[in-house]
Amino acid sequence: MTSAPEGAEPLLVVHPTRARLSAGIGARLALAVLDAQAERGWADVSLTGGTMGSSLVAALAESPLRELVDWERVGIWWGDERYLPAGDADRNDTQNDDAGLRSLGIPAEHVHRVPGPDTSGSAEEAAQAYEAALREHGRGSFDVMILGVGPDGHVASLFPGHPAQLSDDAIAVAVHGSPKPPPDRVSLTLECLARSRQVWFVVAGDDKAQAVADGMAGAGPERSSAAQVRGQQATLWLVDQSAAGQVTERG
């Protein structure tokens, strides 16, 4: 029996629909950034790829609460990136840009993009460069780490049973043979993902119901990468009604 990771107990927050979930996360993110800036004068946020990752960026860009935030004091990172050339439509940062990230007016030097094959010789080299950027420009921990979750319980590009999942000697790793295309990626490690004040899993759809139940139940790494990650202050499962379908009532 693997011991539960350190950090805040997971809290399930259920939203009636996917659209309300995205809107709720967008609003929650604006307020979390506002609080971080009030406390430390800055906010570092790690975004996610996937459909939820872009839906929440679009909701934030459309939220009136975005006006509360000084976007010049925000650092943007990604929990993982597909190893594709800058601007490729399948890159996570491109999809977030297209969803409205650029409209927030965050200075380009504060948006830390993972190098692709156009500016690095390999995914390993890109991982090293991204790790170096995090060491130089990061502030030791993320204020908010946003993670989509796959039906198999993967987060970022860390897949149960895949060798990269249990990498513990680095901050960022190259991933090859990803079960989710494209095959080559760069991912932050589980240990790095957990260097976060708040971890938010953003999940919609009944195909994710088992992954949510496993995450909430604290399944082992062979079943769930998500269950291995907790925030230091908060671990939120932000889900729609469909994705909550297999979570049993807490005893």
Binding residues for ligand 6PG (CB under 6 A): 48-53, 80, 82, 92, 148-150, 154-157, 180
Q: How far is the CB of 179 from ligand 6PG (least distance, A)?
A: 10
**Taking the complex as a whole, how short is the minimal distance between the CB of residue 20 and ligand 6PG, in angstroms?**
16
For residue 91, the minimal CB distance to ligand 6PG (Å) is 9
- Contact by Cβ (8 Å): 78, 92: yes
Closest among 161, 153, 237, 250 to 201, alpha carbons compared:
237
Of 69 and 190, which has the nearer Cβ to ligand 6PG?
190
Task: Choose between 28 and 69: whose C-beta lies nearer to ligand 6PG.
Answer: 28
Q: Which is nearer to ligand 6PG, 95 or 120 (CB)?
A: 95
β-pair partners for 202:
148, 238
Is the CB of 185 or the CB of 230 nearer to ligand 6PG?
185
Rounded CA gap, 72 and 10, in Å? Answer: 31
Nearest-approach distance from CB 231 to ligand 6PG, in angstroms? 17
